[in-house]
Amino acid sequence: MSSSIPVGILGATGMVGQQFIALLANHPWFKVEWLGASERSQGKKFKDAAAWRLANPLQDHIANKVVEHAAPGNAPKLMFSGLDSSVAGEIEAAFAKAGHIVVSNSRNYRMVDTVPLLIPEVNADHLKLLKAQSEAQGWKGSIITNPNCATIVIAMALAPLRQFGLKTTVVTTLQAISGAGYPGVPSWDILGNVIPYIGGGEEEKIETETLKILGSLGHNKIDNHPARVSAAVTRVPVQNGHTASISVGLEQRPSVEAVIDAWTSFRGRPQELNLPTAPPQPLVYLHEANRPQPLLDANRDGGMGVTIGRARPCPIQTLKFVAHGHNTIRGAAGAAILNAELMHREGIL
């Protein structure tokens, strides 16, 4: 199948937008045909509107594409959104209203009852909310979201632990600077430093989104998973890759080996359907004592694999471990692309 499905990108000049462009450069199904951005960029060629900040060379056909007004009209039906949350609310709704499928990385609609907050390996069935969304919103199209970049890593690592009676999760994250976009974190603040805070309600997102993701499909909404999450976030001088130090309380007392087996045998719809962006094994357990690490593990399986290590008993709760994932791929642009791939194969596009 050649890349025959045209897609558009909202917020194309930003960091997430650039990551969309880079990841879709050789996609077997999707072809970037439309770029939308803020007024400042409209009418300019992409290469003149955006300073390309990724190591992958920018393709000529994108470089010379003219950036459009971020409004429905001539845009393709399938839209990826990397819009800043300050503007995403209005623009994404306009597109959904006009019949577009908006696959969004923004936070604005994540916690809306009828909006799927999707990790295809974890809760592919949450797509069934779309019918209710259509009724509730009166949109001809729809909005589908992926979680916050740190939440994804944590939720994927927790998903297989539900079988052991997941009750509590205490997590401290060490998050990469790319999570803050561009220009993002000033070097004066982070070079040789750590900052024990991330604005925009980062901790609350982790504490609330996780429970929706792990929840089950209810009546026109998701019934949250009953576990509780406590998050403390930090920014560290790492370019890409969020690390989470996690302690969980479980109802059962599985052996460490049983938990590792639950992680490594975990598969979902993306693996069943062999989606192009799906990692063959979503959760990889590393037995070396000092892993996972951003530099060595963030790019596993094209940045879509989540790595776990250091599983050991917790003197207070049940189990401690470390999880890691690439925040702008698995945690943002790659997550949205996998969502779209799932929808395409499930016949929803």
Q: Rule CB under 8 A: which residues touch a second copy?
A: 15, 53-55, 57, 168-170, 172, 174, 177-178, 182-197, 199, 207, 228-230, 232, 234, 236-239, 243, 245, 247, 249, 289-297, 299-300, 309-310, 314-317, 320, 322
Tracing tokens 């693996």 back to the chain, one arrives at: 271
The catalytic residues are: 149, 242
Closer CB to a second copy, residue 284 or residue 340?
284
Among 95, 67, 77, CA closest to 6: 77
- Which SS3 state, helix, strand or coil, does residue 1 take? coil
- Which SS3 state, helix, strand or coil, does residue 248 take? strand
What element of type H or E holds 337? helix 334-345
Closer CB to a second copy, residue 170 or residue 306?
170
Closer CB to a second copy, residue 194 or residue 258?
194
Contacts of 164 (CB under 8 A, 6+ apart): 250, 251, 252, 254, 258, 259, 262
Closer CB to a second copy, residue 78 or residue 170?
170
Taking the C-alpha atoms of residue 71 and residue 75, their distance in angstroms, rounded to an integer, is 8
Taking the C-alpha atoms of residue 122 and residue 9, their distance in angstroms, rounded to an integer, is 25
C-beta of 55: minimal distance to a second copy in Å? 5
Closer CB to a second copy, residue 74 or residue 193?
193
Pair 151, 205: CB distance under 8 Å: yes
C-beta of 169: minimal distance to a second copy in Å? 8
Tracing tokens 């996998």 back to the chain, one arrives at: 338
Closer CB to a second copy, residue 200 or residue 218?
200
C-beta of 137: minimal distance to a second copy in Å? 31
C-beta of 139: minimal distance to a second copy in Å? 34
Contacts of 341 (CB under 8 A, 6+ apart): 29, 120, 270, 273, 275, 276, 277, 278
Taking the C-alpha atoms of residue 251 and residue 239, their distance in angstroms, rounded to an integer, is 37
Contacts of 310 (CB under 8 A, 6+ apart): 289, 291, 320, 321, 322
Tracing tokens 């063959």 back to the chain, one arrives at: 280
Contacts of 190 (CB under 8 A, 6+ apart): 177, 235, 236, 237
C-beta of 203: minimal distance to a second copy in Å? 9
C-beta of 185: minimal distance to a second copy in Å? 5
